[in-house]
Amino acid sequence: MLLIPAGRPPHKPLEGDPGAEHRLELCRRAAGDDPRFEVSDLELRRDGPSYTADTLLQLASALPDSELFLIVGADVAAGLPTWHEPERVLSLATLAVARRRGTSRKAVARALSGLRAGRGTEFFRMPRIGISSTDIRRRVRMGEPISYLVPDAVADYIHRHGLYGGEAQS
């Protein structure tokens, strides 16, 4: 699995965003030494907004014999028609959709029905884990613990650098 933090997100900036370099390091720490994960700075090296369609095109060119999958939650999949060049996204990668509370498979299918299918959509089941990035950022901002919600290396980095509104620790 390739983790690629956005270099310059094209949507509204996230309040308290620590910046691309910190997000890249957080991905590296989350992946750790697990050989199933690789972290790429591909979007950080590219100028302009970080559009998924551009990233997938770059990956498809660099890895012509690979089958690409874009893993998203159902809530994100339902919003795909509003993305930059959504049909190009679907032409370059199979959309792998994880169930998310509040967004049904039918809602995703309805949202995607107006788009050319491209490589298709695969729905998959995964354990439901009640952790969200929004909640983690809120907990950090409020000074609440995030142990067991993120890997220790990620929590240590967040606290050491005072990310997401927390106080930096030395």
Q: Collapse the DSSP code of 31 into the 3-class scheme (helix H, G, I; strand E, B; otherwise coil) and give the result.
A: helix
Q: Give the up-direction half-sphere exposure of residue 75: CA atoms within 13 A in the CB hemisphere.
A: 4
Cα–Cα distance between 3 and 131 in angstroms, integer? Answer: 18
Q: Residue 62: in which H helix or E strand, if any?
A: helix 52-62
Total number of domains constituting the chain? 1
Could you tell me if 55 and 43 are in contact, meaning their C-beta atoms sit under 8 angstroms apart? yes
pLDDT at residue 167 greater than cutoff 90: no
pLDDT recorded at residue 12: 66
**What is the pLDDT at residue 170?**
61
Residue 170, in any domain of the structure: no
* Share above pLDDT 90 across residues of the chain, in percent, rounded to a whole number: 78
CATH number at residue 102: 3.40.50.620
Q: Is residue 97 part of a domain?
A: yes
Is 68 part of a structural domain of the chain?
yes
Question: What is the reported pTM?
Answer: 0.88
